[in-house]
Amino acid sequence: MRPPCKRLPLCTEEMDSNRFTGELAGFTPDESSVFAALKDNTFGKSLRLEQERIGYAWLLDPLV
């Protein structure tokens, strides 16, 4: 499975005490598989991507 995004270098490690490992409903099959991979640490240990770390310019490309 490929990583969920090119922004993995922006990710930090979520503390185990804050990590969500439950189930979520309403995902598409692709979203569900990425969520399962994140829970299983497929892309790295306890990844967390905070929106504040994503640059504004990166957001403009898909919107324009």
**Cα(22)–Cα(14) distance, rounded to whole angstroms?**
15
Predicted confidence at residue 38, as pLDDT, reads: 87
The rounded radius of gyration (Å) of the Cα atoms in the chain is 13
Query: What pTM was computed for the model?
Result: 0.67
Distance in Å from the first CA to the final CA of the chain: 29
pLDDT tens digits for the chain (64 residues)?
665 566 677 888 899 899 888 888 999 998 898 889 889 998 889 988 888 888 888 778 777 7
Predicted confidence at residue 31, as pLDDT, reads: 87
